[in-house]
């Protein structure tokens, strides 16, 4: 399975999203920018390189957010999403048709690539550095959950033993297993169930 990286760059309470170029696969869809990991490259190094190539900006790659697997018709991928900080450089569009800085609550208005949707969902559930929190429109959470469950069941992601919802692949940030992947409940921190990946 091809591994790709994606950056969630937040500035002044807004998040950068980019629209795929006409002629590309998934043209017109929105994504968190990033790209394919080259052999021997760490996800962080890949992401920093891709953001330099795609926009001409230097970034500092931060906290891991989540992994999302998706079977696109053209190739199955595992998307690894990280937070990133914009350090320097004006954004140039080398590889995208548009970029937009979007308030968290407006993320739901964009047509995202399928692999990016779980990232959007996790971002909406997580607190933002501005203290903002999204109030989802009625029915949206259920619709996202149903779509994600369908995808996860097709992918054989394990169900949380307590909540019976598909779990999310995460990477341990600290402790003796730092760097190791594990399955965590998406209802964290209310549910702390984990399964070894
Ligand atoms: Zn659970």
pLDDT digits (tens, 9 = 90+) for 53-92: 999 999 999 988 888 887 777 778 889 999 999 999 999 9
Position 169 scores a pLDDT of 81
Cross-strand bridge partners of residue 171 = 181
Domains located in the chain, CATH noted:
2-125 (3.90.79.10), 157-196 (no CATH)
- For residues 171 and 67, is the Cβ–Cβ distance under 8 A? yes
**How much distance in Å is there from the Cα of 15 to the middle of ligand 1?**
28
- Give the mean model confidence (pLDDT) for residues 15-39: 93
CA-to-CA distance for 71 and 185, rounded, in angstroms? 22
**How much distance in Å is there from the Cα of 60 to the middle of ligand 1?**
32
CA-to-CA distance for 166 and 16, rounded, in angstroms? 28
Residue 195 parent element (H or E): strand 194-196
CA-to-CA distance for 132 and 115, rounded, in angstroms? 24
**How much distance in Å is there from the Cα of 190 to the middle of ligand 1?**
8
Position 129 scores a pLDDT of 54
- DSSP structure class, residue 24: S
**How much distance in Å is there from the Cα of 27 to the middle of ligand 1?**
36
**How much distance in Å is there from the Cα of 143 to the middle of ligand 1?**
19
CA-to-CA distance for 161 and 11, rounded, in angstroms? 37
- For residues 172 and 195, is the Cβ–Cβ distance under 8 A? no
pTM of the model: 0.67
**How much distance in Å is there from the Cα of 17 to the middle of ligand 1?**
30
């Amino acid at each position: 399975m091809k591994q790709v990286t994606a950056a969630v760059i937040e500035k002044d309470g807004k998040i950068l999203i980019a629209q795929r170029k006409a002629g590309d696969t998934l043209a017109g869809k929105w994504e968190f920018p990033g790209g394919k990991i080259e052999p021997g490259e760490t996800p962080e190094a890949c992401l920093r390189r891709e953001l330099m190539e795609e926009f001409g900006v230097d970034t500092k790659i931060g906290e891991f957010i989540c992994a999302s697997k998706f079977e696109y018709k053209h190739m199955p991928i595992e998307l690894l999403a990280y937070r990133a900080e914009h350090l320097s450089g004006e954004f140039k569009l080398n590889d995208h048709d548009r970029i937009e800085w979007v308030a968290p609550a407006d993320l739901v208005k964009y047509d995202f690539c399928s692999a990016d949707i779980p990232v959007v969902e996790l971002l909406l559930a997580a607190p933002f550095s501005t203290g903002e929190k999204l109030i989802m429109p009625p029915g949206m959470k259920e619709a996202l959950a149903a779509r994600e469950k369908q995808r996860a069941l097709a992918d054989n992601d394990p169900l949380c033993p307590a909540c019976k919802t598909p779990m999310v692949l995460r990477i341990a940030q600290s402790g003796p297993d730092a760097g190791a992947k594990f399955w965590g409940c998406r209802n964290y921190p209310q549910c702390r169930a984990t399964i070894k990946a």
